[in-house]
Amino acid sequence: MEALRSLILEDLVWSKILYGFAVAVVLGAVMLVLNVRLIRNYD
């Protein structure tokens, strides 16, 4: 949220932007691993 907000309200504040992307990438990786495990074990 803060990363998106900084992009709209401020100039490029890389500390906030990178933090936002890092959170999304980490959570995305967790979800991907979880889904791959679930679909491989689906019967």
Residues that bind another protein (CB under 8 A): 1-12, 17, 20-21, 24-25, 27-28, 31-32, 34-36, 38-40, 42
- Which DSSP symbol is given to 11? S
In the complex, the smallest distance separating the C-beta of residue 21 from another protein, rounded to whole angstroms, is: 6
Contacts of 3 (CB under 8 A, 6+ apart): 16, 17, 19, 20, 21
In the complex, the smallest distance separating the C-beta of residue 18 from another protein, rounded to whole angstroms, is: 10
In the complex, the smallest distance separating the C-beta of residue 2 from another protein, rounded to whole angstroms, is: 7
Positive or negative, the CA dihedral 32, 33, 38, 41 is positive
